Amino acid sequence: MKLFDNHKKLFSTATLFFVGLTILVAIMPAIRNQDNNQPLPGAQELSPEAVKGKALFVANGCVACHTQQVRNVDMDKMWGSRPSLAADYADIHRIDVWRNTATLMGTERTGPDLTDIGNRQPSKDWNLVHLYNPRIVVKESIMPAYPWLFAIKKEPSKSDIVVNVPAQYLNGQEGKVVATKEAMYLIAYLQSLKQTKLPDGTTAPAFLYKREEKKVTGASGAEPDGKAIFTANCQSCHQANGEGLPGAFPPLKGSPVVLGDDLEKYVDIIMNGYDARAEFGVMPPVGTNMQFTEHEVAALINYERTSWGNNGKKVTPEEVKKIIDFVKLKAAK
Ligand code: HEC
Ligand code: HEC
């Protein structure tokens, strides 16, 4: 054939096909996609600090272990209130000649999904300690430590952000651990990661492949497991031995709140969080975030009142229900 003998014709034909197909299968769908998917109306833009933090998130390899995508399968329900949508990733623009905004959906979930980590773990103190060395707060953690995001200072100044690192994690170095600008940027980024609410009237796609719901109504006699609830929601700060972390999280072992008579205060702390003392960090509204039922709160209280040598009075879900309704009203005011 003539075409095969003329290299100019052959090459131009191949190039034409290549360009044509690229436009058809790559460029046109991409443009259509961008037109069809706008960021949700409630989506927040990243602050300048969070943008720097995002770059550090990439640079430190966090994306190798942490996804940012809630799949539409039931087992992903714990990572967000709805499955992620294309619109969640639609705010893509050129940041310079060579690069677009990174979406950081990730492919490996060695650690938890971070789509909604800003809501799930809003505590700055926890995040700082955890970044310095995850083992301080989560004993079994396999996440690497990031000590280069911190500096050790003999005499920190007033403006320094001091991190409460227990002495045995300092490897014999003397002084206080203070957070660098980079650590604060990274945390600003983590705290900005919140799943955007859908506009009113929009239904989210369903979670598929539902697992059988465990009966936790108490009517059948099966109350939820207080220890499991503690492990999943409280242990990362108050620790498995209930002793907390000096200077950051108070002990629940021997705690006057846990053992005292003021059940209203106790339930209020669980549902709405707590920030009463300067020596400790801030406790987020864990119960409200996790939508605890009175059965779960009662199981939790009973577990804490009977563990680590604590010996407090048991409560019933009925008692707790009244107080939850009351503290909800109080928090709404
Ligand atoms: C080798 C894998 C790995 C890498 C790399 C990694 N992580 Fe993790 N991460 C984990 C694991 C495993 C956990 C769960 C145990 C824990 O809390 O420490 C975790 C937990 C977390 C949590 C708490 C999540 C929750 O739901 O409580 C945050 C926040 C976090 N990582 C942030 C980061 C940041 C920021 C980086 C990068 C500076 C990073 N991780 C790098 C594995 C990793
Ligand atoms: C992100 C870390 C964090 C998590 C998670 C957390 N707490 Fe707390 N908690 C704190 C901090 C910090 C304080 C002290 C706040 C203050 O006094 O300023 C506190 C205080 C308390 C107190 C009062 C103790 C006392 O003696 O004053 C109780 C009770 C308590 N938490 C129970 C719980 C329970 C139950 C859970 C799980 C549902 C939980 N916490 C989860 C950080 C946390």
Note the pLDDT tens digit of each residue in 239-252.
Answer: 999 999 888 899 99
* Average pLDDT of the chain, as a whole number: 91
Cα(264)–Cα(233) distance, integer angstroms: 20
Q: Which of 52-66, 100-114, 173-187, 215-229 has the lowest mean pLDDT?
A: 215-229
Task: Please choose from 131, 274, 294 the residue to mutate so as to test ligand 2's pocket, defined by most ligand atoms within 8 A of CB.
Answer: 274
The region that residue 291 occupies, defined by phi over 0 for left and psi between -120 and 50 for alpha, beta otherwise, is left
Distance CA 324, CA 260 (A): 18
d(CA 104, CA 282): 29
Ligand 1 contact, 190 CB (< 6 A): yes
d(CA 73, CA 76): 6
Q: Which ligand is nearest to the CA of 146?
A: 1
**How many CA atoms, within 13 angstroms, populate the side-chain half-sphere of residue 152?**
11
For the chain, what percent of residues have pLDDT higher than 90?
Answer: 71
* Phi/psi at 248 (5° precision): -130, -55
| CB atoms inside a 10 Å sphere around CB 250 | 23
Dihedral angle computed from the Cα positions of residues 126, 192, 153 and 164, in that order, rounded to the nearest 10 degrees? -10
Cα 308 from Cα 254, distance rounded (Å): 8
pLDDT reading at 109 higher than 70:
yes
Q: For ligand 2, say whether the CB of 325 is within 6 Å of any of its atoms.
A: no
Interval between CA 255 and ligand 2 midpoint (Å): 10
On the question of pLDDT at 77 being above 90, the answer is no
**Of 39, 44, 56, 13, which Cα lies nearest the Cα of 181?**
56
Cα(130) to centroid of ligand 1, in Å?
8
Considering every ligand atom shown, identify the ligand nearest to the alpha carbon of residue 235 and give its number: 2
Q: How many whole angstroms from 5 Cα to the centroid of ligand 1? A: 60
Q: Is the pLDDT of residue 215 over 60?
A: no
- Sign of the torsion formed by the C-alpha atoms of 161, 165, 171 and 174: positive
- Comparing 76-80, 151-155, 184-188, 189-193, the range with the smallest average pLDDT is 76-80
Indicate whether residue 66 lines ligand 1 (CB < 6 A). Answer: yes
* Shortest-distance atom of ligand 1 to CA 108: 2
The residue whose CA is least distant from atom 34 of ligand 1 is: 62
User: Which residues are within 8 A (CB) of 298 and not within 5 positions of it... i.e. 6 or more apart?
Assistant: 223, 315, 316, 317, 319, 320
User: Which residues neighbour 48 within 8 Å (Cβ) at sequence distance 6 or greater?
Assistant: none
Spacing, Cα 112 to ligand 1 middle (Å) = 7
How far apart, in whole angstroms, are the C-alpha atoms of residue 118 and residue 274?
Answer: 17
300 within 8 A of 226, measured Cβ to Cβ: yes
Ligand number, closest to the Cα atom of 126? 2
Between the CA of 319 and the centroid of ligand 2 the distance, in Å, is 21
Which of 112, 292, 307, 141 lies closest to 227 in space, CA to CA?
307
Residue 326 corresponds to which amino acid? F
Q: Is 275 in the pocket of ligand 2 (CB under 6 A)?
A: yes
How is residue 270 written in tokens?
């669980």
Q: Which atom of ligand 1 lies at the shortest distance from residue 189's CA?
A: 35
Q: Report whether residue 166 contacts ligand 1, using a CB cutoff of 6 Å.
A: no
Ligand 1 pocket member 110 (CB < 6 A): yes
The verdict on the CB of residue 120 being under 6 Å from ligand 1 is yes
Q: What is the pLDDT of residues 278-333, one digit of tens each?
A: 888 889 889 988 889 999 999 999 999 999 999 999 999 999 999 999 988 887 77
In the predicted model, is pLDDT for residue 29 greater than 60? yes
- 218: pLDDT confidence band, cut at 50, 70 and 90? very low
Of the listed ligands, the closest to the CA of 226 is 2
Which ligand lies nearest to the CA atom of residue 238 in the structure? Answer: 2
Residue 32 has pLDDT above 70, yes or no: yes
pLDDT-above-70 percentage for the chain = 97
Contact 38, 76 (CB under 8 A): no
Torsion of CA 222, 224, 226, 227, to 10 degrees: 90
Tens-digit pLDDT profile for residues 154-177: 999 999 999 989 989 998 889 999
CA distances from 221 to 116, 206, 321, 324 (A): 34, 30, 17, 21
